[in-house]
Amino acid sequence: MALVTEVYRVTEHFPSRETYGLTQQLRRAAVSVPSNIAEGKGRDTTRDYVQFLYRARGSLLEVETQLEIARNLGFLSAEAFAAIYDQAAEAGRVLNGLIAKTPP
């Protein structure tokens, strides 16, 4: 959830021409991470839960890629990129931990 909040904060400063481009794509991918975790947790089977954890991880990889694009285009400073990318990496470690500890 902290990552989603930070994505919203940093994308507020993206160029207005990106409102329906990278800004929206990045926000949707970020929101998808905790949303998939929550949806998976509400499913009846462990298999379904793990499937949604994998979807969350896929969305997180999208976020990381889109953050790199934003940095490359100059929408994020190196410092802002490093800070938010660290948050994304931490979310990835948490997701990998959840996937690893969930019994098959």
Tokens representing 93 are 């470690």
Question: CB under 8 Å, gap of 24 or more: what pairs does 94-100 form?
Answer: 95/33, 95/37, 95/53, 95/56, 95/57, 95/60, 96/57, 98/37, 98/53, 99/50, 99/53, 99/54, 99/57
pTM: 0.93
C-alpha–C-alpha distance, residues 103 and 8, integer Å:
34
Domains and CATH numbers, the chain: 2-101 (1.20.1440.60)
**60-83: per-residue pLDDT in tens?**
999 999 999 999 999 999 999 999
pLDDT in tens, 21-54: 999 999 999 999 999 999 999 998 999 999 999 9
Query: What number of residues does the chain have?
Result: 104
Residue 22 CA to residue 26 CA, distance in Å, equals 6
